[in-house]
Amino acid sequence: MSPVDNDVGNWDVFLPLKQFVTGKSRLQGLPNNERKSLIRAMANDVIDAILQLSNVGSITIVGLHHLDVTTNPDLRIRSFPLTQMTGINNDVRRAIGASNKISVILPDLPSITSAELAIALDLASANEQSFIPDFSGKGTTIYFVTNSNAFNPQFGPNSALEHLKNGAKELSHPAFAGIMRDCDDFTDLGQIPLSALGRATRSIMEHRMRK
């Protein structure tokens, strides 16, 4: 896809998706096509929330062609396909290119909202490197840098602590409900009211409930 012109203040968002589509072992109880559909639905809900923000210059799907994930025609959506995965951190490093204000958002946040994302980006703008932990406080759902030279994501086991060790500031706000609620299994999904889920994920969950 042809690049779009970004203002200096705009964020470039990266969604590392391929590892989630091939992974998510705790969803392995589902038939493979249903598991992949659910993961893509969650990613679509994240993308829809991001697209509502005017200060996002681009959204890059890392690992897959974006048309394998969403048919949304918004020209800010790009692709960085990968044939071989080397881990989320290295995959995103390969994808960022000349970006400077970078946000890496994990795609398993089905109740994320544009309102809380707007707050998060505003808070992150004041820090060279920052992150938002998941609900457990151990993992990370979003990582930000405002200077690409500081880009040093630490996604993986105990990533919240690893980000702190590497100088990233932990961001917190009362509105961060959807941002912190990542979903590895149906227990996680079941803790989120249907009304709070994004449209794509809610549709799949409602369909499963009718079975």
Q: What are phi and psi of 94, to 5 degrees?
A: -70, -25
SS3 19: helix
Q: What are phi and psi of 135, to 5 degrees?
A: -60, -30
- Going by pLDDT thresholds of 50, 70 and 90, the confidence category of residue 86 is confident
Convert the pLDDT of each residue in 182-200 to its tens digit: 987 777 777 888 888 999 9
Q: Is the pLDDT of residue 24 over 50?
A: yes
Q: Is the pLDDT of residue 211 over 80?
A: no
Neighbours of 60 (CB within 10 A): 25
Q: What pLDDT does residue 5 have?
A: 38
Q: Say what the pTM is.
A: 0.90
Convert the pLDDT of each residue in 108-119 to its tens digit: 999 999 999 999
Q: Is the pLDDT of residue 153 over 90?
A: yes
- Which DSSP helix (H) or strand (E) runs through 40? helix 32-51
Q: Is the pLDDT of residue 157 over 80?
A: yes
Nearest in space to 196 (alpha carbons), one of 171, 179, 173: 179
Mean model confidence pLDDT for the chain: 88
**Level-2 CATH architecture, domain 11-210:** Alpha-Beta Complex (3.90)
Q: What pLDDT does residue 35 have?
A: 77
Q: What pLDDT does residue 29 have?
A: 60
Convert the pLDDT of each residue in 30-59 to its tens digit: 667 777 888 899 999 999 999 999 999 999
Query: What is d(CA 178, CA 49) in angstroms, rounded to the nearest whole number?
Result: 11
Neighbours of 54 (CB within 10 A): 9
